[in-house]
Amino acid sequence: MDKQIQQLVEMGATVPQACAALHKYKDVMQAAERIFDGEFAHVHDEGEGVRMQPDTSSILTPSRTPHASTPEDVVQDHDMMDDDIEDDVEDYVDYESDFEIQPTAREVDPYAGKLGIFFSKDRREEVIEVEEEAEFVSLPESKEPIKLMTQGEWMKGCPEGNEQSFLFALYDYLCSGSCPCPQRCGFKVPRKKYDFFSLFPEFPSYIEHLQAIIKQSCPTCKIEFCFACGEMVNSANNHPSASSGNASLFHCSNMQGVILGVGLAMLEATFAEQRQQPIGNGNQGPQRSKSNKKRKLHAHSTPTGDDEESDSYYTPFPMGRKAKGGTGYAGDQREDTSGQLEAQAQQRVKDEKIGFMLSQIRVYLPSLRRHGGALTSDYMVHPTALAHLRRRFNYLCSTLLRNDSLTDMSERSVLYFKLFEWLETISNHEALASMMAMPIMVVSSVKSVAPKKAVHSKAIIRERAIIYEGSAGPRELLEAIVIQARAAIKGLEGMKSSDPEEEMTEEQKRMTAKGKGKAKESSPPPNDENEKLLAFCNRILATASAIDRSLRETKGDAFVDRLHASLPKILTSSTFDHISVRTGETEEERKKGYLDWAMQVRFEYCDLTVASPATDPNPSVPHYKFYFNNEARMIANSDFPKRSLAIAKELAVLTTNLPVSWDSSVFLKVDENRVDIIKALIIGPEGTPFLFDIFLGPTYNHTPPSVKYMTTNGGRYRFNPNLYADGKVCLSLLGTWSGPGWISGRSTLLQVLVSIQSMILCDEPYLNEPGWANAGGTPQSKAYSANVRRMVVKTAMLGNLKTPPEPFSDVIRTHYRLKADVIITQLDRWLALDDGRQTTGDSAQTSGRCDATSSSNGFKKDVEEMQSLLRQLKDGTFQY
């Protein structure tokens, strides 16, 4: 009984109502129907947080059982229903509030964000949703049977406030009863489910169907009235939409709600189907059949059994596209890429289809900036429109904006441009604008419940317990792309032409306009890709600026300032206050604080130049504190378009994808004016920082970057068989060792960094020596590691902490301060493991041996000094 009561409470009833209904009807579904009929409206408890509407004449009752319908006699007068809806719209509950809105609250925007939880992503909701047996209908305009949208599909998604009541009300109102003549002459037009909830194969077919039925004529009064709201329609409409026959579809907010709900359901189903369908694999036999079976269920098809996986109904969001396989040196040079062009062509067809649907549906978004002036539905935003936008559009929006490849986005610009138009249109309307800042509720898990039969029919009901969790909102997701776009533009700055633009004559302007801008070549063919990426990046920045500008106009400066404070950021200079980073009291707090800090400082632009020597014959070209200074100065004034494009793509990825963790992280410093000059700090095992200089030369990405290892104690220490004392990095990806090498246009700097991090800076470096891979745990390997530990403490730890290499001084000291306790304990362990031998710079084979506790090899002294400095960092007495 407790479980059934909980289920009814989740549907919107109070505990007393649930108990009374179950006591009388026993069956939970029948009890739910009677509650929705208003039979138990008089049973309530003022102490309950969720209450049914006390007015038995109102159908605006919260419902989480979409299949349950309200009898026709509940709605006798559409005017009364419309009045109720209009009254309740103004009291629409805040989407981030768990509290009922007070009667005095009058918020135009349901996403206003009260109670201090505006940006909270910690919310978690479990919702019981149902999937009913599919219904089909034959319509004259279609040769094939048309599937009808069930109430469960209409109401699917994570509910907020009173959303379910509005969705239930509109669905029931447009599916049953009759639409009377507004003159009350007695003429009525019966409504059927297929009138408004037919899922046509194409959205334009659905619009044509609505245009054919939306205007109803009264044979007695000789007037036309809207079939969706019952109000009289003015035939004399000079709005531009009238010429296309669409004006009647903007007559009322009811039409707005149903068009967006059905249209977005079609869009969501198409998008989900495309994501699950393999690209370029042809006929896959039984495996393909199984995939289709799951996909059909997601796309509102008839369930054929109980063996489908739970994720066939809802597909959790991917957290970005990641490279397949491990973190090896490079891809296989023999990789077959023959199907790549075909796959790209197929992807473009899919993107064009989704983009076209976005364009078609966007016409019906509320917009006060509509060409020709705003229409009725633009001012009267229906609550169901808000619900469907938040539930359905956010699925597509979130999925596309989580793409971590700017290159992939630019190649799919036909789709992303349409997405950006949606974001701008939503942000322009006061009733929708705050959606840009609200967390998106995404599916984290799905659990199926045994199917059951409906109370009054033989239809099979399938229930699922859906758990939704908060995630980043649209504007926050867009900011991650904005960061990549800015980085890419920095990389493309070298391709800009220095030739002054000439003023065009009137004849040239006419020719350009006539040719739609194609009369004049804007750039040579080699720069086409650069221009395409640059245009796409500028479009991203323009979209973000337009959204922020609209939010300032509609929501105010405080709203936008608060939003920006929560967005991810990339520092443009070393201005981060490292001292303010707290270590935390518990291990969990320390790890969280470390990760939060590392995420903010892992990628930084800074000034890497140094003063030019007095003897420099060319002082106009800057010098850099950089191993490859001479090489960088030689190409200071050169322009390599292909190189610029490659660097732009690299920077876009690196800004948001550098690996950071408690155990090992990668930090980059890029010169703010020369993005081909990079310094990397890689935190190896046991929290030890190693410095690398990286130069993206004139033939990059056709050839690999130049990498030099700098933590060598002046060229005396070799910490790894693949890291030489002279700074050479031995890695097949760089062409300095045999094995899979650099692939032009495919390999990346991120691969190089991750390869160094995970393969070279390993726990047992002896095994990296050719022929010694199977010598793990041997005396030779242990001696090698002991020698490396002595070098690490002296140079990588003490040396880097006492005299930190620029520009990583703050990073190194903050790293050690946050991990002081862990490293102090680790040093004690290292001292206990030391074999007492003398430190050698390039070999683990030493002849001398002494007691591990003696100070003859200096290790104990180094350890004690390092521990002392760590304690000073921790208690704040360290002298910077």
Catalytic positions, written as ranges:
730
> What is the 8-class DSSP label of residue 855?
S
Q: Taking a C-beta distance cutoff of 8 angstroms, is the pair 536, 413 a contact? A: yes
- 752 φ, ψ to 5°? -60, -50
Say which residue the tokens 């493991």 belong to: 833
- 670 φ, ψ to 5°? -115, 135
- HSE-up of residue 732 (Cα within 13 Å, Cβ side): 14
Question: Quick one: angle between helices 253-276 and 203-213, nearest 10?
Answer: 160
Distance CA 563, CA 838 (A): 58
Work out the number of other CB atoms within 10 angstroms of the CB of residue 738. 8
- Residue of 312, 291, 314 whose CA lies nearest to 303: 312
Burial 752-790 (b: 16+ CB within 10 A, else e): bbbbbbebbbeebbbbbbeebeeeeeeeebbbbbbbbbb
- What tokens were used for 861? 């002294």
Distance CA 654, CA 397 (A): 23
Residue 606, H or E segment: strand 603-606
Q: Taking a C-beta distance cutoff of 8 angstroms, is the pair 200, 222 a contact? A: no
- Residue of 774, 781, 772 whose CA lies nearest to 844: 781
**Coil, helix or strand at residue 707:** strand
Q: Taking a C-beta distance cutoff of 8 angstroms, is the pair 258, 240 a contact? A: no
Q: Taking a C-beta distance cutoff of 8 angstroms, is the pair 747, 705 a contact? A: no
- 830 φ, ψ to 5°? -65, -40
Q: Taking a C-beta distance cutoff of 8 angstroms, is the pair 468, 314 a contact? A: no
Q: Taking a C-beta distance cutoff of 8 angstroms, is the pair 71, 172 a contact? A: no
C-alpha distances (whole Å) from 302 to each of 109, 299, 675 are: 38, 9, 55
Q: Which residues are paired to 130 by β-bridges?
A: 463
Distance CA 647, CA 487 (A): 9
> What is the 8-class DSSP label of residue 760?
I
**Coil, helix or strand at residue 608:** coil
Distance CA 756, CA 769 (A): 15
> What is the 8-class DSSP label of residue 734?
G
Distance CA 472, CA 120 (A): 9
Characterize the bridge pairing of strands 603-606 and 666-671. parallel
Distance CA 812, CA 820 (A): 12
Contacts of residue 341, Cβ cutoff 8 Å, sequence gap at least 6: none
Q: Taking a C-beta distance cutoff of 8 angstroms, is the pair 35, 3 a contact? A: no
- 62 φ, ψ to 5°? -60, 135
- 681 φ, ψ to 5°? -115, 115
Contacts of residue 562, Cβ cutoff 8 Å, sequence gap at least 6: 118, 119
Report the alpha-carbon angle 75-78-84, nearest 5: 85
Distance CA 234, CA 226 (A): 10
Distance CA 805, CA 589 (A): 28
Q: Taking a C-beta distance cutoff of 8 angstroms, is the pair 801, 869 a contact? A: yes
In angstroms, how far is CA 724 from the centroid of its own chain? 41
